[in-house]
Structure formats: C-alpha cells, structure tokens
Amino acid sequence: MMKVLVMDGVAEQGLVPLRRQPDIEVVIGEKMTEDQLVEVIGQYDALIVRSATKVTARVIEAANKLKVIGRAGVGVDNIDRNAATNKGIVVVNAPDGNTIAAAEHTMAMMLALARKVPAACGKLKNGCWDKKAFLGVELRGKTLGIIGLGRIGSAVAKRAQAMEMHIIAYDPYIAEEHARKMAVEIVTLQELFKRADFITVHMPKTKETYHMINKEAFEQMKDGVRIINCARGGIIDEAALYEYMVNGKVAGAALDVFETEPCTDSPLLQLENFIATPHLGASTQEAQINVAVDVAEEIVAALRGELVKNA
C-alpha cells in the first residue's frame, strides 16, 4: 500500500480520485509543528498541503519514501522546491481551480473599499446609524492598474470591465496579443503607478516582486489611490503601506495576504480605511473541490510514474 498524507483541511470531496485507488491509503493529518512532521513524514509516499503547512528542507530531508508533494492551490512558496528537486521529489500544484474564487474576492475587496462597507457595517452593529460618515466612490470611469496579468489578473480585468473601469496592466512576461484581445492597455510600472485609481497585484512572490510596492512606489502613485493584495504577502511592504495610509496618500487598502501569517497584530488593523481578510481568496466551496480534485489526480499520476501536468 502507498500512503498519502493530506494536511490543511483539503476538501474531502476532492479526494475521490485518491480514495478510488485500491493500493493507496489516504491519511488525514491534524495541524503539526515542523518537528512533528519530520517525525512522521518518513512513512508517506505523497503529501498534500494548502498554505498552512510549511514543507521545509528539514521535512524533505526526513522524507525518505516521498515521491510527490501536491499543493492544493497555486502558490508553492510554502514548499522548499530546491530541496525537493535535489531529493528527486516532484512538486505539483493546481493552478486553475481557484482562479475565479480569487478574482471574485478581489472584486469584493475593491467594492468594499470603494463603499467602505466593513466600517459602515461595524458602526451600525454598534448601534450607530451614521449615514454621513461613509461617502464612497464609484468604480465606473476609474482606472484599475493590474500588476500581473496571468490567470487571476485577467479574470479581474474581465470583471472590472463589466463595472466600466478602464484597465491598465504591467506584466513583463505576457504576450501583448493576450492583453490586446482583452482590451487591456499594457503600460510600464511607473505609468501604472502614476495613472491608477485602484491598484491590484496578482503575481507570485519572488525575489523580484518582494516589496515591489514600497515607499518609492507609493511616492509615484496618485493621491487617494486604493490598493488591493489578494496574491501573496510580502509583495507590499506593510510598514510603507501603513506610513502612506496614515499620511493620507493612500485612501484605502485591502489585504487578504500578509508577510507573516497568521497576522493578528499589524498596526494596519487599527486603521478604519484598512480592510483585511485571513487569506480567504481561494476559500469557496467550488474552488476547494476543484483544487483538491486537480491535485489528487496529479498525485495518482505521479505515484503511477505517469506524466504530471502541473509540475
């Protein structure tokens, strides 16, 4: 029997492709420390995680039977891929299943920022009917700057176009043809900072994108800009964001992801025009089933020595 350890509450309905295999045993793991994972990982042929479990070099070092690590989602930044590759362990992800969930969450954040929904709701729940305090702005006619026009960035562009926004984007790695077909104007990063009323980031966290939205970037932005990050913590320098929200340059910001997660004590959380969610971008019933099915199918293929699509 081959054994697959499933962590981080990956959707049970999505594990059907694994449970159908007579020679594969599925073990659902509880939250573990690195030490606990190091202790048990040697028994397993495959491991499935979302973002909570960190698959470090130490874990991989102890993983003597492991053939494949599956990420039920897009970002593989919680897995030490170099260590895995050096040990001959394949890393697969599920890049398509949560695109719509993350794009819809981005739209929810943008609308909530524009109309100050969380602050108004909080005040009303505290017994205060304060109609005057929450004058918002419309999305129609505003310029949305999208950094990273991949799957989620493109899905956001399409939805924002339906809100009659003008879309500009910066992405040095996409084909111009893709942007042209979507009626998105490709601009330099400097131009995006200068023109956008709303800025949303949709790229992976890499050495290149780490703190890409920093003091220097905020200086170039329009007064009253609103910022959204439903991609990865660390793309926005949170200390700089706080400074530019307090000095009034940034009218509002919405973060779903933080440089350190869980994040419960950031000074940003004290600001009324700051909206936060606890990494919920992919948290829809649909997306969680999609990514679990996709990754389970990839794990079966990898364990059988067949071709995997998303390595």
**Paired tokens of 298:** 């990839």
> Which of ligand NAD, ligand MLT, none interacts with 258 (beta carbon under 5 to 8 A by kind)?
none
Closest to ligand MLT by CB, 188 vs 285, is 285
Q: Which of 50, 232, 238, 259 is catalytic?
A: 232
Q: What mask of x and - would describe binding to ligand MLT in positions 47 to 86, judged by CB under 6 A?
A: ---xx---------------------xxx-----------
Our answer to whether residue 286 is catalytic in this structure is no
Shortest spacing between CB 121 and ligand MLT, in angstroms: 24
Size of the site for ligand MLT (CB under 6 A): 9
Half-sphere exposure of 170 (CA within 13 A, CB side): 17
Our answer to whether residue 261 is catalytic in this structure is yes
> Which of ligand NAD, ligand MLT, none interacts with 50 (beta carbon under 5 to 8 A by kind)?
ligand MLT
- Interacting positions 37-76 with ligand NAD (CB under 6 A): 73-75
* Maximal C-alpha separation, the chain: 65
228 contact partners, CB below 8 Å, separation of at least 6: 106, 109, 110, 113, 198, 199, 200, 201, 253, 254, 255
Q: Which of 50, 105, 202, 279 is catalytic?
A: 279
Identify the CA nearest to 107 among candidates 256, 288, 262: 256
Strand partners, 288: none
Which helix (H) or strand (E) segment holds residue 244: the answer is helix 238-246
Binding ligand MLT (rule: CB under 6 A), the pick from 139, 279, 300, 303 is 279
Our answer to whether residue 159 is catalytic in this structure is no
**282 near ligand MLT, rule: CB under 6 A:** yes
Half-sphere exposure of 302 (CA within 13 A, CB side): 27
Binding ligand NAD (rule: CB under 6 A), the pick from 208, 223, 265, 306 is 208
Pairing between β-strand 185-186 and β-strand 198-201 as defined by DSSP bridges: unpaired
Closest to ligand MLT by CB, 7 vs 114, is 7
Contact of 67 with 90, CB cutoff 8 Å: yes
**149 vs 170: CA distance, rounded Å:** 7
- What residues line the site for ligand NAD (CB under 6 A)? 73-75, 95, 98-99, 102, 147-153, 170-174, 202-204, 208-209, 230-232, 256-257, 279, 281-282
Residues that bind ligand MLT (CB under 6 A): 50-51, 73-75, 98, 279, 281-282
